[in-house]
Amino acid sequence: MSPDPEADLVKLRAIALALPHAAEKLSHGQPVFFIEKGKLFAQYWHDHHHDDASAVMVKLSGIEEQEMLIDLDPELYYRPAYIGHSGWIAIRTDVMGTDWDMIADKVAASWRNVAPAKLLRE
């Protein structure tokens, strides 16, 4: 389990809310980040299924990217329950040396993956 899940959430919140038109709410007791009046682009799960795991969920370009990342590092990435089938990936934050720059890049890419074309043009 993450030694400090609250610190992880503070970091994720700073990353996610710095993106255009981003907002936060709770969904199923977990913080989610979405584009105002739009789709989710990031989620934070801590012990969500009583699994002692902490992770950031982001929307990838598709299942192929998801499979590649899991194959690359199965200790860091996993396919999250309920949302994994639609191209989401979990990035564990409860492992040694969490790379928050990489997570920031993945969150920004997830934002772009769900943002409406009009917002991307801005």
Any idea where the domains of the chain sit in the sequence? 5-121
pTM here is: 0.92
31 token code pair: 């913080």
Query: Would you say domain 5-121 falls under CATH 3.90.1150.30?
Result: yes
Q: Are 24 and 41 in contact, with CB atoms under 8 Å apart?
A: no
C-alpha to C-alpha distance for 121 and 103, rounded to whole angstroms: 24
The pair of structure tokens assigned to 36 is: 């105002």
pLDDT digits (tens, 9 = 90+) for 74-100: 999 999 988 999 999 999 999 888 899
Quick: pLDDT tens for 29-53.
889 999 988 899 999 998 877 777 8
| % of residues, the chain, pLDDT over 90 | 71
Quickly tell me which residue has 């012990």 as its tokens: 47
CA torsion through residues 72, 78, 82, 88, sign: negative
Cβ(111)–Cβ(119) under 8 Å?
no
pLDDT, greater one: 29 or 109: 109
